[in-house]
Amino acid sequence: MLILFAISLFASALLLFLVQPMFSKMVLPRLGGTPAVWITCMVFYQAVLLAGYVYAHLSTRWLGVRWQAVAHLALLLAVFLTLPIAAAQGWVPPPTANPTPWLLMLLLVSVGLPFFVISITAPMLQKWFAHTGHPAAQDPYFLYAASNLGSMAALLGYPVLVEPFLSLAQQAWVWSLSYGLLALLIVVCGLVLWLSPESRMEKTGEAAAAVSNPGDHTGAASPLTVNQRLWWIMWSFAPSSLLLGITTYITTDIAAVPLLWIIPLALYLLTFVIVFSRRPLISHRLMVAVQPAAMLLVAILFLWGLQAEGVWVIFLHLLAFFVTAMVCHGELARSRPPTLHLTEYYLWIAVGGVLGGIFNAIVAPLIFKSLAEYPLVLVLACLLRPQVNEVSSSPKARWLDFILPLILAAVLAAVVYDQESGSASGKITTSTLIISCAAVMAGFAFARRPVRFGLGIGAIMLAGVLYSGGQYKVLHAERSFFGVIQVLADSGGHYHMFYHGTTLHGAQSTDPERRREPLTYYLPTGPIGQIFDAFWASAAPRTVAIVGLGAGSLSCYAAPGDRWDFYEIDPAVERIARNPQYFTYLRDCKAHKRVILGDARLSLIQAPNQRYGLIIFDAFSSDAVPIHLVNREALRLYLDKLADGGILVFHISNRYLDLKPVLGNLAQDAGLVALIQNRELTEDEENAFYVRTTYVVMARKAEDLGFLMHKEEWEALSGQPGARLWTN
């Protein structure tokens, strides 16, 4: 019997968490591959999970477990009417409005019912098991570990065993068949419940009240307090918010791909597996002891301004997230109630989870102009720490909980101000190291008192904001569905810079004599300048498509009579590029130009075939290239729109991903000629505000590339033998 329920819970969680990356990947191309797609999907999944837990709780109270089983059978059958899972056809995201409501409705219509029905399974089957009379039925919470183990198996197996070998359509059919097996398992569990004498005793919960958790100090008859419910919500809220915060942090600069969504979520679920196990592999006391060191490491990263500088930084953030989730979820497990309150307990956990998701996906983008929710919730998680030892509760000690962090903040701010006055901001110097050592010592001294420690961590992070903010003047900052956008001016006011996330996406000189020079990645003597020279010398039509607007720098290459179409997914980017207070490229440079809002792949479908003589892909989300723009199906679309003799151009400068073999394989598969240039800079070019770049060009024939075929800077780009071709 125990094995039956454990397998059923494992299978339900497996299917529940296979849906998440599978369907999110289905809708990702419709919204430009932005990390916000996954974050919004996660909010939906959490909200539906909450709805499932509400149903499980209320149906148990109103119907009893036996008739609840009958009602659930009807829901299981209804799901078959919605299979196989697919994104609803005919749904096009709004080109100018925030697409969050559109995406939530698409999710509801496409996967709402299957996800809702399966989400009921975890609390429902545990409640059923508590009424079977099995010796382990007195404390069924360990089955929650089996459920989360199934979730982890799905997440870790999807990018390794599912995604590489099955198309999305095949995945949907395999999922549908697996759902049929799960429904059969749940029916068998329901029969076991009906045949158990204990379930016949249960009508309105009186029998369940006699079933208590031996390890729970509240006792079976103790009612739940408001305070207890609030703690459950907060211990669930903080890890849920941090999960989405760290996912945004990772995928913003690398790529919005299922593998990078899955790593934080797998760690999140692993913490549930560990803390709800009968014999946890990692003790709660150890995690509470380790948390201050992990949080101080992350705080020092913020102090140094190293939020996106290498894999080791990402590892430290993931480590701090894992330890913090272990502490919060450990407190949840430690305070679990008797089985009388089992479904309500899971309900409040789900409430905290969905509130964390709503805060990150909906509230934070409206009230913050940066990714401020991540460090704020790190501070909150520190405030939620359990008190390790007995400490003084005198009024003086409580006042010091606030006063000492304020003193730390003032000292750090003063040293930071002095550091900025004497040296370049953003550099790790001896002074920075001294600040860091002082901050760490203070942090460890505060660790015994949660309020003092949390506010101390906040003081260190705040000093980091001051330290990194003195180098540039912020002219404009805003946050859209597609990311954080800033317009900065250097300390001398000589340049305006366009940043998306943490990455520079264009700049313009304020010197009237240089205002029409395309700076940063667009050096006239570099790859892009040579490409335009070849294009102007060709017989291809003088119609150009640019995927990605940025500051509008490329428009300086336009010649009179040219027709240019910029494809830009984010209305905020167009608004900034057209504002003459920040950039004047679109206003000053020649040619007829128009900006087409919406995802480039979807918008290009509407363009006439063979319209463009030159198509340039310069689209980035922070440092990440939207990967749905660089696969086989996308390339076929581009070739349909490319005129005879035309050229395809890909800007692939990137700190993390090497797209050379990807594009080499695509060119080889399509029978195209491909060249690549990595352009290093001279000292004079660097001083003139240019940066090193990597460009790839493709054409149907070598002659279409003109003199580029004979320039030594350009090298032939070949595919990578054995590597899989990127496809939808």
Of the candidates 138, 584, 144, the one whose C-alpha atom is nearest the C-alpha of residue 338 is 138
DSSP 417-430: HHHHHHS-TT---H
For 92, how many CA atoms within 13 A lie in the half-sphere containing its CB?
14
CB 365 within 8 A of CB 230: no
Of the candidates 717, 660, 685, the one whose C-alpha atom is nearest the C-alpha of residue 526 is 685
Hey, which residues does 566 pair with through a beta bridge?
546, 595
The 3-class secondary structure across 238-306, one letter per residue, is HHHHHHHHHHHHHHHHCCCCHHHHHHHHHHHHHHHHHHCCCCCCCCHHHHHHHHHHHHHHHHHHHHHCC
Residues 6+ apart with CB under 8 A from 2: 129, 134, 136
Cα–Cα dist 112/97, whole Å? 23
Cα–Cα dist 36/98, whole Å? 11
Give the class (CATH, top level) of 2-383: mainly alpha
Tokens of 313: 């930084």
Edge-first strand order for the sheet with 495-500 is: 472-480, 483-490, 495-500, 503-509
Torsion from C-alpha of 124, 125, 130, 133, nearest 10 degrees: 140
In the CATH scheme, what is the homologous superfamily, with its name and number, of domain 499-716? Vaccinia Virus protein VP39 (3.40.50.150)
Longest dimension (CA), the chain: 89
Tokens of 389: 């030892």
Cα–Cα dist 359/522, whole Å? 39
Of the candidates 499, 566, 502, 552, the one whose C-alpha atom is nearest the C-alpha of residue 522 is 552
Edge-first strand order for the sheet with 543-547 is: 592-597, 563-568, 543-547, 612-617, 642-651, 693-699, 673-679, 715-716
Element (H, E) at 29: none
Hey, which residues does 677 pair with through a beta bridge?
695
Cα–Cα dist 128/570, whole Å? 49
DSSP 94-128: -SSS-SHHHHHHHHHHHHHHHHHHHHTHHHHHHHH
Q: Where are the domains of the chain?
A: 2-383, 395-468, 499-716
Element (H, E) at 196: none
Of the candidates 122, 369, 359, the one whose C-alpha atom is nearest the C-alpha of residue 238 is 359
CB 253 within 8 A of CB 657: no
577-612 burial string, b = 16+ CB within 10 Å, else e?
bbeeebbbbbeebebebebbbbbbbbbbeebeeebb
Tokens of 584: 């004047």
CB 419 within 8 A of CB 467: yes
Hey, which residues does 504 pair with through a beta bridge?
499
Tokens of 344: 């309500």
CB 151 within 8 A of CB 269: yes
Residues 6+ apart with CB under 8 A from 127: 56, 60, 65, 140, 339, 342, 343
Block means of pLDDT (10 residues each) for the chain, 728 residues, are 85 89 79 71 88 86 81 90 86 75 90 91 82 72 78 85 86 94 92 71 45 41 84 96 88 62 86 85 91 90 69 88 96 87 87 92 87 92 85 78 83 68 50 67 77 88 68 86 88 88 86 89 90 89 91 89 90 93 89 86 89 89 68 91 94 81 91 91 81 92 92 88 75
Cα–Cα dist 260/275, whole Å? 24
CB 305 within 8 A of CB 462: no
Q: Strand runs (DSSP E) across 481-555, as ranges?
A: 483-490, 495-500, 503-509, 543-547
- Whether 2-383 shares its CATH topology with 499-716 is answered no
Tokens of 603: 């918008």
Output phi, psi for 515, to 5 deg: -65, -25
Counting runs of H as helices and runs of E as strands, what totals does the chain give? 25, 12
Cα–Cα dist 272/268, whole Å? 7
pTM of the shown model: 0.79
